[in-house]
Structure 1
Amino acid sequence: MDLDTKRRADRRLDIVYRIGAGLTGLVLIGFGTAGLMIRLPLFDTQGEVIAGLSTNGALSFLSIAIGSLLVGAMVLGGIFASTVCVAVGAAFVASGLVNLYLMSTDFNILAFSMPNVIFSFVVGLMVMTFGMYGRFSGGLAEDNPFRQHRESRHRGRVPAPRAEGVGGSVGHGSTDERLRDAAGEPDHRVEQQAGARDAAADGGAPRVRGRHRADGAAE
């Protein structure tokens, strides 16, 4: 989304983004730190259970890294915090789906178990909800920065010009003809066609209906 990053999001939205990012980040940092303190093997597929979740060295490092990112988003707040929450939430949901398939194989390098999969789904949806709050829903307040951005983009749209064929729009004649019709000037081609039709009906030479010159002679 192409928003003005110098402008802070609405204060109420900013508080929601900060709370969602901060709480989730602190939980992940605590979980990762506990795993590092007992010095777990880096890629052990079995892992050790901490707070009901299995973990190993790789998952502990990853938890601390993602938690630090969320804490940084809490500090910065605003639109950045919202974007980080949405991205991290989607990554958690995707991780739950992938590891649900890998946890019974030799490629379970993060030592996932079923409680880990459920935790990924729940935390991912929760963090994504925090990030989407006041951003993608309808009926936003008038001072909402996301609504103002959408309205500014809508007002900036310019309707495309109507395509015209060679000599003017299709079915409407050329530009000169439309201007002449608007000015009330006679069309000589129409007069010539009418004269040809009259001549064909009389069986004689074609007559041309024209304007009278200023001296009274017919054209």
Structure 2
Amino acid sequence: MVHFPVNHPARPIYRVLAGLVGLYILVFGVWGVALTWGGPLFARDGDWALGLRTNLAFSLASVVFGIVLIVGASRRGNLGHYMNLTAGVIFLVTSILMMSVLQTEANFLNFSMSTVVVSMIFGLLLLGTGLYDKVGTDEHAEELRQHRNHPVHETHLRRP
């Protein structure tokens, strides 16, 4: 993947951002589990946690995803890079799928439109952080930088 920057200078900021998203998701999940504990797993009640509608299944999934994102953000290698890319896609796909079944019985995660919007924002944030937090050797980063700045490469980019 030549287009992913390696050793981006803002990489620590992106990892902190991914960690904060993971922390919010973890707190939301724990709060949701506390609110919905003892109820049906896929309830479609009016339970709200931190401004988002939830049920026990969605809260438990949020706890798992929050822990995974925090672990990924705390690692120095490329594990966080791949976890953020994957989580970003999962959040975007889930939000689109849940939006399509919002007013039906298939809304098994009890999403509301605000939950869809927040999931899309988190998906885009995680995808963005995943694009810029790749780690590599200094030689690999320099090789990619030279490839991007090579005169032959630049002439292909210019159009007469």
Question: TM-score, normalized by length of structure 1?
Answer: 0.56
Query: Per the alignment, in what secondary structure is the counterpart of residue 78 of structure 1?
Result: coil
Query: Per the alignment, in what secondary structure is the counterpart of residue 9 of structure 2?
Result: helix
Q: Residues 106 and 147 (structure 1 numbering): CA distance in 2 closer, same or farther, change over 3 Å?
A: farther
The answer to whether 1:31 aligns with 2:28 is yes
In structure 2, give the amino acid aligned to 1:58: A
Instruction: Give the 5 Å matches for 1:34-53.
Output: 34-38=31-35, 39=37, 40-53=39-52
Q: CA deviation at 1:18?
A: 2.1
Q: Residues 105 and 133 (structure 1 numbering): CA distance in 2 closer, same or farther, change over 3 Å?
A: same
Q: Residues 108 and 101 (structure 1 numbering): CA distance in 2 closer, same or farther, change over 3 Å?
A: same
The answer to whether 1:148 aligns with 2:143 is yes
Spell out, residue by residue over 1:16-59, the C-alpha distance to the aligned partner (whole angstroms, 9 max, x if none). Answer: 34212211111011000001112243101234012221000000
In structure 1, give the amino acid aligned to 2:65: I
Query: Is the CA contact (8 Å cut-off) linking 1:26 and 1:71 kept in structure 2?
Result: yes
Question: What residue is the counterpart of 1:16 in the other structure?
Answer: 13
Find the aligned partners of 1:146 and 1:42 in 2 and give their Cα distance.
47
Stretches (4+) displaced over 3 A: 11-14, 143-152
Question: What residue is the counterpart of 2:153 in the other structure?
Answer: none
Question: What residue is the counterpart of 2:121 in the other structure?
Answer: 122
The answer to whether 1:133 aligns with 2:132 is yes
| Higher Rg of the two aligned structures | 1
Q: Residues 95 and 74 (structure 1 numbering): CA distance in 2 closer, same or farther, change over 3 Å?
A: same
Q: CA deviation at 1:128?
A: 1.0
Q: 5+ unaligned residues in a row in structure 1: which ranges?
A: 2-8, 136-142, 153-219
Query: Is the CA contact (8 Å cut-off) linking 1:93 and 1:125 kept in structure 2?
Result: yes
* Structure number having the greater helix percentage: 2
Which structure has more relative contact order (CA 8 Å, sep 6+)? It is 2
Q: 5+ unaligned residues in a row in structure 2: which ranges?
A: 148-160
Find the aligned partners of 2:128 and 2:116 in 1 and give their Cα distance.
18
Find the aligned partners of 2:9 and 2:145 in 1 and give their Cα distance.
19
Find the aligned partners of 1:131 and 1:47 in 2 and give their Cα distance.
34
Q: Residues 147 and 128 (structure 1 numbering): CA distance in 2 closer, same or farther, change over 3 Å?
A: farther
Spell out, residue by residue over 1:69-113, the C-alpha distance to the aligned partner (whole angstroms, 9 max, x if none). Answer: 111112213322111111111111111110001121111110001
The answer to whether 1:55 aligns with 2:40 is no
Find the aligned partners of 2:62 and 2:127 in 1 and give their Cα distance.
17
Query: Is the CA contact (8 Å cut-off) linking 1:20 and 1:85 kept in structure 2?
Result: no
Query: Per the alignment, in what secondary structure is the counterpart of residue 12 of structure 1?
Result: coil
Q: Residues 114 and 134 (structure 1 numbering): CA distance in 2 closer, same or farther, change over 3 Å?
A: same
Q: Residues 20 and 70 (structure 1 numbering): CA distance in 2 closer, same or farther, change over 3 Å?
A: same
Q: CA deviation at 1:145?
A: 4.2
Spell out, residue by residue over 1:170-197, the C-alpha distance to the aligned partner (whole angstroms, 9 max, x if none). Answer: xxxxxxxxxxxxxxxxxxxxxxxxxxxx
Query: Is the CA contact (8 Å cut-off) linking 2:26 and 2:66 kept in structure 1?
Result: yes
